[in-house]
Chains A and B, each alone.
Chain A
């Protein structure tokens, strides 16, 4: 929710959605919350072979306050859960979350006393990427799916209460 909301429910709203969402979906600032080996695949997506810059998402911010998309890359354990929650809470709306790899998605094969069985037990998730670790193509595919999702949103929606 930003400046665009001052237009309220005027007749411009639909066209404003299209303009704003077009801008949003091609300029994601990511916050990489990298905890495990998935980070290697994540890094390769930034490098020249896969080049996530082609999709406008090449700019990682290491402050959650400046980020739009939270990439949770790797295993999250119960000890770390409050940190993830706090990082998420510090991000400004609009914000999206991508769960990267099976560990973040479901705990993966870490079905044990220490591991959170999926980050959606802590924070809401928009896109899940399967794989252990996922290939870089899967990350680009997830990014495109996130762009499709964003393009269908309304600037008046407040996603997370």
Chain B
């Protein structure tokens, strides 16, 4: 199944799109991470996607590339939704930040950094948002030990 929206993006970035699919109107574009920022700018400036609804990540260990960055966009003008996904490798977990386009990306990216260790280049203040300073590792990574505890203050005996 194809759609006007997916065709438009495909023809705009023919070399960067890895895959597109749509399931019951739920349209998804898988693209190279190098193209994320320009694709997002195209969505915002030309296609009327004015709202970054969500930005998060997933860990598909032991698959390589291991991580997937997931962004959900919404156009309040057209009542359209679109999902952009980028594979991100463990050896170089860096992606361009979307904060220049949507200020709301700031805390989403801090969360993805905190939980998965994905670094967002160009982010103004990339530090942990949920866990505390001194916490080691990224707890939503699949290889984070299930029973590992990192007390912030010493526990009683």
Contact = CB atoms under 8 A, between A and B. Distances in A.
A77 to B, nearest CB: 9
A79 B131 contact: yes
24 contacts: A78-B132, A78-B149, A78-B151, A79-B130, A79-B131, A79-B132, A79-B152, A81-B152, A81-B153, A82-B153, A112-B139, A113-B139, A113-B148, A113-B149, A114-B130, A114-B131, A116-B151, A117-B149, A121-B155, A122-B153, A122-B155, A122-B156, A123-B156, A124-B156
Interface of B: 130-132, 139, 144, 148-153, 155-156
Which 5 pairs, one residue from A and one from B, show the smallest C-beta to C-beta distance?
A121-B155, A113-B139, A79-B132, A78-B152, A82-B153
Contacts of B144: 113
Contacts of A81: 151-153
Interface residues of A, number: 15
A114 B129 CA distance: 13
A145 interface: no
Nearest to B144: A113
A120 interface: yes
A113 B145 CA distance: 9
A113 B153 contact: no
A79 to B, nearest CB: 5
Q: Is the interface of A mostly helix, strand, loop or mixed?
A: loop
A23 to B, nearest CB: 30
Interface of A: 78-79, 81-82, 85, 112-114, 116-117, 120-124
A82 B134 CA distance: 14
Contacts, number: 35
Nearest to B140: A113
A113 B153 CA distance: 14
Contacts of A78: 132, 149-152
Contact of A114 (B139, B153, B155, B156): B139
B149 A82 contact: no
A104 to B, nearest CB: 15
Nearest to B151: A78
A82 B152 contact: yes
A116 B151 CA distance: 8
Contacts of A114: 130-131, 139
B108 to A, nearest CB: 19
A124 B157 CA distance: 11
Most central of A79, A113, A121, A124 by chain B CB within 10 Å: A113
B156 A121 contact: yes
Contacts of B148: 113
Given A79-B130, A112-B139, A114-B131, 14 more contacts: A78-B149, A78-B150, A78-B151, A79-B131, A79-B132, A81-B151, A85-B153, A113-B144, A113-B148, A113-B150, A114-B139, A116-B151, A121-B151, A122-B155
